[in-house]
Amino acid sequence: MRDDTDGLASAGPEFLNRLEAALPGRVTAPTDAYLTEARGRYTGLAAAVVRPHSTEEMARVVRLAAEARVGIVPYAGGTGLVGGQTAQGPAVPILVSVEKMDRIVEVNTADNVAQVEAGAILSIIHDKVEDHDRLFPLWLASQGSARIGGLLATNAGGVQVLRYGSARDLCLGLEVVMADGTVWNGLKRLRKDNTGYDLRHLMIGSEGTLGIITGATLKLTPKPVDTATALVSVAGPQAAIALLNVVRAHLGETISAFELMHRQGLEFLAEHLPQIAQPFAHRPEWSVLIEVGGGAEARMQERLETALMVGAEEGLVSDALIAQSDTQSRAFWDVREHIPEANRKVGAVSNHDISVPVSAVPEFVERGGPAIAAIDPSLRINAFGHLGDGNLHYNVFPAPGRTRAEYEERRSEIKAVVHDLVHALGGSVSAEHGIGRMKVDDLERYSDPAKLTAMRAIKAALDPLGIMNPGALFRG
């Protein structure tokens, strides 16, 4: 069964029979849905999909795989954007899905926590905790499909990181099946726990390379009862950052979203999703979507209006719309949230999920455009994202009427130009999507050597057989 190319064995019929005997009815052939991903860049390879119903069953799968030295690719909602959930071989692994472990075990309003199984879908967690007047403030366009195990494994971000932090900041405890099949029960609900190395933070963002997350204790917050949403036309990223500071001065830490959008994204939207109404009569070159929220007496709309008036007096605001109803607020968000879908319909030549210090965003945008144009002036750029976090999705598209396939040979050059610029500005080449299989080379190229050495040592210590998500984060 051994495949000498990487020391792992392929999951052959004999191994699959053993799995089926140990977990009757849990092992099936992989359908296309498990082997493809949103951007169509990767087609996965798997001998079977295993769907355990409990942590104990999950541990059994891992022990059997460790015994046979078969690779395991953890799988949650399949919405990852860096190929982490799509195995590539050469040895054929198994996909292990947490979808049958999707219970919301408890919502506890005294401790302000929810305990969930790893397969719980994010939007269902939102609904369940809202029934208790609480918020789980992790908010992203894939929330209808992404599951908490995958969201924690990738340390997902989204549109409310500015106020509430990323998945890491919203998790108090974890349960994980380690690479040897032992179970680490770390489902604590403590705000303070200084008892040595924090395994929770090691597992969060490890993208399935150290173990399989089977459960989590999530931090809840009170639901803001008074919110206000505005769509604001600004001259550019510099003005947008200055406006963020004005809004902050007036509304403090009540800002939950500050999203930048470029006209290119609005044009893709108009072309490919015309059913999404665009609130501005003329599509602005740059705009920001702002959301603020507070308690009952917070007067959010009035205070946001004042801040925007000050912004206009300072020449930062060209035009502003403040939502007058929940429906209007939803319509503003629809614009922002459908940009990724419109992008996918156009088909990017190269996508970049980057972050730089917030103050460096204008320089990044100013230098990025000419650098891409120097490769090919017909390329189009759609820059949008979480400006308050210095995180932009900086995606490069073909000229109108051409396809991404026509630019395939320029893709690595485009990526290198963008990532070199990010690195020069002290940024990160993966702000929120992770490394997966797509950015393994970038991790090697841009990481501090001491960090890489420590990462390899951790991997070797916790997964000495190398069975956990082979080929993700590190070369296979």
Ligand X SMILES: Cc1cc2nc3c(=O)[nH]c(=O)nc-3n(C[C@H](O)[C@H](O)[C@H](O)COP(=O)(O)OP(=O)(O)OC[C@H]3O[C@@H](n4cnc5c(N)ncnc54)[C@H](O)[C@@H]3O)c2cc1C
C-beta of residue 253 within 8 angstroms of C-beta of residue 163? yes
Sign of CA dihedral 428, 430, 432, 434: negative
From CA 437, how far away is CA 85, in angstroms rounded? Answer: 9
Kindly tell me the burial class for residue 301, based on how many C-beta atoms sit within 10 Å of its own C-beta (0-12, 13-18, 19 or more). Answer: middle
> Is the bond preceding 279 in cis, omega lying within 30 degrees of 0?
no
Give 113 or 153: the residue with its C-beta nearer to ligand X: 153
Looking at 140-148, 193-201, 375-383, 448-456, which segment touches ligand X (CB under 6 A)? 140-148
Annotate each residue in 11-50 with x if it binds ligand X (CB under 6 A) or - if it does not, as one string: ---------------------------x------------
The dihedrals phi and psi of 16, each to the nearest 5 degrees, come to -65, -35
Task: Name beta bridge partners: 262.
Answer: 286
- Rounded to a whole number of angstroms, the minimum distance from the CB of residue 409 to ligand X is 26
From CA 2, how far away is CA 8, in angstroms rounded? Answer: 6
Residue 307 Cα distances to 64, 239, 315, 336, 348, angstroms: 60, 14, 12, 22, 36
- Judged by CB under 6 A, the number of residues near ligand X is 37
Q: At 36, is the secondary structure helix, strand, or coil?
A: strand
- Applying CB under 6 A, among 16, 141, 235, 312 the residue interacting with ligand X is 141
DSSP state of 402: -
C-beta of residue 469 within 8 angstroms of C-beta of residue 73? yes
Chain residues 153-182 in contact with ligand X, contact rule CB under 6 A: 153-154, 156-158
- Rounded to a whole number of angstroms, the minimum distance from the CB of residue 347 to ligand X is 15
- Applying CB under 6 A, among 15, 34, 42, 75 the residue interacting with ligand X is 75
- Rounded to a whole number of angstroms, the minimum distance from the CB of residue 415 to ligand X is 18
Which residue of this chain has its Cβ atom nearest to ligand X in the complex? 150
Give 311 or 390: the residue with its C-beta nearer to ligand X: 390
- Residue 57 is a binding residue for ligand X (CB under 6 A): no
- Residue 101 is a binding residue for ligand X (CB under 6 A): no
- Residue 76 is a binding residue for ligand X (CB under 6 A): yes
The two tokens of residue 213 are 């997350």
C-beta of residue 142 within 8 angstroms of C-beta of residue 79? yes
Chain residues 324-353 in contact with ligand X, contact rule CB under 6 A: 340
- Residue 84 is a binding residue for ligand X (CB under 6 A): yes
- Residue 469 is a binding residue for ligand X (CB under 6 A): yes
Instruction: Return residues touching ligand X (CB under 6 A).
Output: 38, 73-81, 84-85, 98, 118, 140-142, 146-147, 149-151, 153-154, 156-158, 207-208, 212-213, 340, 432-433, 436, 469, 472
